[in-house]
Amino acid sequence: MPEDTVSEKTIDHVEAITFGPDVLPKQVYRSDQGSVPDISICLVNWNTKDMLRDCLQSIDQHKDDLQIEVFVIDNASNDGSGDMVKTEFPNVYLIENNTNRGFAQANNQGIHQSSGRHIFLLNPDTVILPGALTAMVRFLDTHPQAGAVAARLFNTDGTLQYSLRHFPNFLTPFTENTNLAHIPGIHCYSRRSRMMTWSHETVREVEQPAGAALMIKRACIETLGSLNSCYHMFFEDVDICYRIRENGWKIYYLPEARIIHHGGQSVKKRKDMGLQFYRSLIKFFRIHRGRSWEYYVRIFMVILSLYCMFYSLILMLRHPKKSLVIGKSAFNVMRAAFYRIPVYDTLPDNNLNSVKANPDSNIKAGVNTV
């Protein structure tokens, strides 16, 4: 790509946050790969124009001496996101879809067009902090066994965001539900599954980091295939992490790479968030554990939902509002246990070469042609 001409404007609300001493490398890291981009960054956007702008500015400000290419895949936003990218970031590759193709399929569009040595799946509601990109590239370059590396994420207020998980189990429908995770009998498992009981200050191997800021080696993608597009929303990152580890690669958490993640900005605008989460969870079990595990999970969802409803009744006299919230959430989990998922809706689409340019998308990038 030509040299970026993005504005150098600072992001005030980000720089006001204090994160302690910098952890920048003492020397600037430079790869020896010629004109091949070090990173291909894929940003899937849906109606988050302002945060997308902040994200793109932070990439430009903190790319150091790395060679990067950036793809924004816009899923039919109606807030002017596409026009903003064209006007303010002419060197960014913009893929405009006429429909919302979901997170996995949209990312695959960017992956297919990319040429970088590493693929960086990045949410548009993030802000890159100094040294993050360099640290992640350097780590993958110097650790042959690493298939992917995840950044340390912070909330908007600068507090640590618990973005690491163990792979899903029977309790996941409840430990990941904010209204049910604190119920006695579930709470201790919730803290454990979210890996809240260990220090986030050291590099370590992990199972499932959040896909909000996940860098994957191209060699890994070419071996395993791209994201599974049967997931429209949620669990695409869980699926690719599971396949990475099942095929002998390792995934690492790198606290030196610091990124702000405002969290769930597109998700908050959807009314079917819960439905999509549980549908994708059930799909994951069907694909990777088999139909028997799927049935066990569905049954467990019903049984534990009844327990949560009983607990909500006990709370009714002392905390009526809290009781109603818990009862409603438990009922929704039980209802989700009966969602029918057609067989064709869980057929994997993991071949990178099968990700073709879509007839209903337009690709623009300044004077570049993809």
Cα 88 to chain center, whole Å? 25
User: Does 164 have pLDDT greater than 80?
Assistant: yes
User: Does 199 have pLDDT greater than 50?
Assistant: yes
Using CA atoms in the order 94, 95, 100, 101, what is the torsion angle rounded to 10 degrees?
-130
Q: What is the pLDDT of residues 58-78, one digit of tens each?
A: 999 999 999 999 999 999 999
φ, ψ (nearest 5 deg) of residue 157: -85, 5
More confident call, 347 vs 97: 97
- When the pLDDT of each residue in the chain is averaged and rounded to a whole number, the result is 82
Helix (H) or strand (E) holding 303, with range, is helix 291-315
Residue 342 structure tokens: 């057609």
The pLDDT value recorded for residue 148 is 97
Q: Is 200 exposed, middle or buried (0-12, 13-18, 19+ CB in 10 A)?
A: middle
* 3-state SS, residue 35: coil
Task: Please choose, from the candidates 147, 95, 91, the residue with its C-alpha nearest in 3D space to the C-alpha of residue 118.
Answer: 147
Q: Do 92 and 63 touch, CB atoms closer than 8 A? A: no
Q: Do 251 and 149 touch, CB atoms closer than 8 A? A: yes
Bridge partners of 209?
A: 164
Q: What is the pLDDT of residues 244-265, one digit of tens each?
A: 999 999 999 999 999 999 976 5
The CB density around residue 51, as the number of other CB atoms within 10 Å, is 19
The pLDDT value recorded for residue 34 is 53
User: Does 16 have pLDDT greater than 80?
Assistant: no
Please name the residue that has the structure tokens 């999509």. 276
Q: Do 228 and 221 touch, CB atoms closer than 8 A? A: no
The pLDDT value recorded for residue 272 is 62
More confident call, 190 vs 110: 110
Least confident of 2-6, 89-93, 127-131, 267-271: 2-6
Angle between helices 291-315 and 273-288 (to 10 degrees): 140
Please name the residue that has the structure tokens 């040429």. 115
Spatial separation of the C-alpha atoms in residues 81 and 48, rounded to whole Å: 7
Q: Do 360 and 97 touch, CB atoms closer than 8 A? A: yes
User: Does 20 have pLDDT greater than 60?
Assistant: no
Least confident of 115-124, 177-186, 202-211, 235-244: 177-186
Q: How confident is the model at residue 363 (pLDDT cuts 50, 70, 90)?
A: very low
Q: Do 14 and 127 touch, CB atoms closer than 8 A? A: yes
Question: How large is the average pLDDT for residues 24-40?
Answer: 58
Q: How confident is the model at residue 114 (pLDDT cuts 50, 70, 90)?
A: very high
More confident call, 197 vs 119: 119
Distances (CA, A) of 313 to 171, 316, 321: 21, 5, 11
Question: How large is the average pLDDT for residues 316-324?
Answer: 91
Radius of gyration from C-alpha coordinates of the chain: 21
Q: Do 181 and 190 touch, CB atoms closer than 8 A? A: yes
Give the torsion sign (CA, 46, 224, 242, 195): negative
Question: How large is the average pLDDT for residues 26-47?
Answer: 72
The pLDDT value recorded for residue 364 is 45
Q: How confident is the model at residue 351 (pLDDT cuts 50, 70, 90)?
A: very low
